Amino acid sequence: AQSVSQHNHHVILSEAASLELGCNYSYGGTVNLFWYVQYPGQHLQLLLKYFSGDPLVKGIKGFEAEFIKSKFSFNLRKPSVQWSDTAEYFCAVNADNYGQNFVFGPGTRLSVLP
C-alpha cells in the first residue's frame, strides 16, 4: 500500500527563519502530490499541488515545493516564516489505480515564535 512519511513531528522556528519540511512517499507510478495546511481549529486547506511538468511548484502564502522523482520526495519550503504560519502541515499523495483516495502523512506541527 502507498504510504507517506514526514520527517519531522514538530518544528520550532523563529520568525524570518527559513523552513523546509520533508515528505517522502512510497509508490512507483504516476502520483499527484499535495501539501495541505491546518491552522488551529480549522479545516485542511490546499497550499500547493503537483500533477506534472515543472517539478518546482509555487503555492499560496509564499510556499513552494520541489518534486524529486528519483528520491520519491516532495519537500515544502518557505524562505522566511511568519508567526501566522503556525499550523499543522500535511503532505498527501493521490496515485492512479491505487484506491482513488488521498493518503496523508502524519503531519508536521510548525510553531513560529514571534
Partner 1 sequence: DSGVTQTPKHLITATGQRVTLRCSPRSGDLSVYWYQQSLDQGLQFLIQYYNGEERAKGNILERFSAQQFPDLHSELNLSSLELGDSALYFCASSDKQGARRTEAFFGQGTRLTVV
Residue 50 near residue 75 (C-beta atoms within 8 A): no
Residues 37-66 that bind partner 1 (CB under 8 A): 42-46, 49, 51
Residue count, binding to partner 1 (CB under 8 A): 27
Nearer to partner 1 (CB atom), residue 34 or residue 63: 34
Rounded to whole angstroms, the Cα distance separating 20 from 76 reads 5
- Rank residues 29 and 114 by Cβ distance to partner 1 and give the closer one: 29
* Contacting partner 1 within 59-98 (CB under 8 A): 90, 92, 94-98
| Residue 65 or 103 with smaller CB distance to partner 1 | 103
Q: Which is nearer to partner 1, 67 or 90 (CB)?
A: 90
Using DSSP bridges, classify how beta strands 31-38 and 87-95 pair: parallel, antiparallel or unpaired: antiparallel
Contact region with partner 1 (CB under 8 A), list: 12-20, 53-61, 75-83, 100-108:
100-108
Residues engaged in binding partner 1 (CB under 8 A): 30, 32, 34, 36, 42-46, 49, 51, 90, 92, 94-107
